Amino acid sequence: MNPSFKFLLALIISLEISFESSLATNFLIISISIIYLLIKHVKLKNLLITLFAPLLAAVTIFATLYWFAPQPNLTNALSLSSRIYVYTLTIYCVAVDTSAEQMARSFEQNFHLPSKFAYGVLAALNIVPQIKQAIRQIRTAAMMRGIYLGFWSPTLYFKAILVALNSAENLAQGMESHGYHENATRSVIIKIPIKVSDWTISIIILLIVNLSLFILH
Binding site for another protein (CB under 8 A): 100-101, 119, 122-123, 126, 129-130, 133-134, 136-138, 140-148, 155, 159, 162, 166-167, 169-181, 184-191
Q: How far is the CB of 116 from another protein (least distance, A)?
A: 11
Looking at the Cβ atoms of 141 and 215, the one nearer to another protein is 141
25 C-beta neighbours (distance < 10 Å), count = 26
Q: How far is the CB of 42 from another protein (least distance, A)?
A: 21
Distances (CA, A) of 191 to 69, 185, 211: 53, 15, 34
- Residue 198 DSSP one-character state: H
Q: How far is the CB of 101 from another protein (least distance, A)?
A: 6
In Å, how far from its chain's centre is CA 8? 12
Q: How far is the CB of 113 from another protein (least distance, A)?
A: 15
Contact 108, 125 (CB under 8 A): no
Contact 138, 149 (CB under 8 A): yes
The span from the CA of 152 to the CA of 187, in Å, is 47
Backbone angles phi, psi at 15, to 5 degrees: -65, -45
Looking at the Cβ atoms of 18 and 182, the one nearer to another protein is 182
Looking at the Cβ atoms of 50 and 109, the one nearer to another protein is 109
Looking at the Cβ atoms of 87 and 180, the one nearer to another protein is 180
Q: How far is the CB of 162 from another protein (least distance, A)?
A: 7
Looking at the Cβ atoms of 8 and 142, the one nearer to another protein is 142
Q: How far is the CB of 117 from another protein (least distance, A)?
A: 13
The span from the CA of 90 to the CA of 84, in Å, is 10
Looking at the Cβ atoms of 72 and 114, the one nearer to another protein is 114
Closest CA to 148 of 139, 156, 157: 139
